Chains A and B, each alone.
Chain A
Amino acid sequence: MSKKAWILLAMLALLFAGLLAYGLSQGDAGYVLRNAAENFCFS
């Protein structure tokens, strides 16, 4: 892979890591769990 491709990849990785960190700080994971629990069949 070329240097340019690595730089693009690193920037994308930083972007996604930022999204993940922000989402976690906003309680997204808890919302995912809650949604999964409320969709539970046989409950």
Chain B
Amino acid sequence: MKKEIAIVGYKCKKCGKLHYPFHDRCLGCKGREFEKVKPQGKAKLLTFTRIYNLPWGFDQRYLTLGVAEFENGIKAMGQIDADEKTPLQMGMFMEPSWEPVRVQSGENVYGLKLTPLSA
């Protein structure tokens, strides 16, 4: 079975607040019933960093990470597919895709990859 970090938004049925990741009680009204919402459209880059001291499990020189907001309001962290020469800035749009983000026990784990579209 494919290992995947599923990004699913949880919209509170009582007050409409959108959550990701999951909470058992709504952060707005403490409601306990949610409608699952899939991320939609392009994603706007809210912030980002490039780290050079990587954790165990990542055998590469650097890793670029960011938090982006999808068109339907879901905000999520993902890896950014950009080398050191690619200019990045907050507010730019990114194309989301689900690709391997790390290897665990010899298997690829799929998660959110963000590819810069434009400034």
Do A and B bind? no
> A residues touching B (Cβ–Cβ < 8 Å)?
none
> B residues touching A (Cβ–Cβ < 8 Å)?
none
